[in-house]
Amino acid sequence: MTADGDAIDVDTDRVKASLRRLTDTDDATVIARADAAIDDLDKAAAFVESVGLDRLEAAVEATEAPTRRETGERALEAFRRFRAAASGDGVHFHRGRGTDLRGGTEESTR
């Protein structure tokens, strides 16, 4: 809102791009930080909070170096697996209902 009460149209994509330029983090640095973060849960969480997966994805798409692109894609996939595991998406646990856990020689107590 302006002082007169008029609404201001804001292009959020342009604002985000401007803020990203202000942080001056180049694509190579983003990918290197992501790669370093995937082996440690605290570092991974800090990376997602401070840089974000959208920024990592943009860095992977923008880089022309094949090795760096592979590293970034591997890190991006790892972060996606982390997110899926944390949210409970996918199959990570199977209930044991109906599974006989007795040894072959034990009799049922039922």
Q: What is the pLDDT of residue 11?
A: 84
pLDDT for 65-99, tens place per residue? 999 999 999 999 999 988 888 877 655 555 666 66
- Is the pTM for the entire model greater than 0.75? no
Which residues lie below 8 Å from residue 78, measured CB to CB, with a gap of 6+? Answer: 38
